[in-house]
Structure 1
């Protein structure tokens, strides 16, 4: 009788564990994207070239992430969007995390 109960409960426990681990992966990806966007915004605000800033951010973000950088005379905006795939065989759709950071440009920097 105990074997039958375990046979019924074990798949549910595995599914709950997989979803909990996915939640941790989503939180980790969100933090990674936010940190990378913040680092990129700081670098761009200091006046580094947008190509160098993009390379810096792309190195730090998860695979398949999209990075958008916009700089004008007053502000720098860095957006990072990354998909997080669900555990296999759960049938859940992938989640997308997004980070947006804006920073004021330093006075000596120009457009570029």
Structure 2
């Protein structure tokens, strides 16, 4: 094979193209996995807000943070508001760091539950 023919050959091009695109595919896969993790955390945060709101509406405000932490699976901050004549509103914040080199993501979910009659929130 002559030098001119060897230079015009496409042999090895697939390897070079794969070597160039493989890091991009790996990063896209990692981003997809991180997005799924954030989505799952948002669902857990919504469950935690619902559980905490139900506890506060029943008059068990002391257990609301513990129930929210158990539902979320990690530490959360719980804030409740409401009066005996209105609905109980609970907001749960969950700080999450899906990938170590990205900044943390804060997920906030709010749940509203009718207060039980005769129970102070």
What range describes the TM-score normalised by the shorter chain of this pair? 0.7 to 0.9
Matching residue of 2:77 = 66
Higher relative contact order (CA 8 A, sep 6+): 1
Residues 1:16 and 2:14 aligned together: no
Task: Give structure 1 regions of 4+ aligned residues with deviation exceeding 4 angstroms.
Answer: none
Structure-1-length-normalised TM-score: 0.83
Aligned-residue Cα RMSD (Å) equals 1.8
| Contact 1:41/1:77 (8 A) holds in 2 | yes
Q: 1:47 aligns with which of 59, 62, 66?
A: 59
Rounded to whole Å, the distance in 2 between the matches of 1:18 and 1:26 is 12
Q: Which runs of 5+ in 2 are unaligned?
A: 1-12
Q: Give 1 or 2 for the bigger CA radius of gyration.
A: 2
Structure-2-length-normalised TM-score: 0.77
Q: 1:11 Cα deviation (Å)?
A: 0.4
Aligned residues: 108
Q: 1:40-78 deviations in whole A, cap 9, x for unaligned?
A: 111211222x11111111122243432222342122221
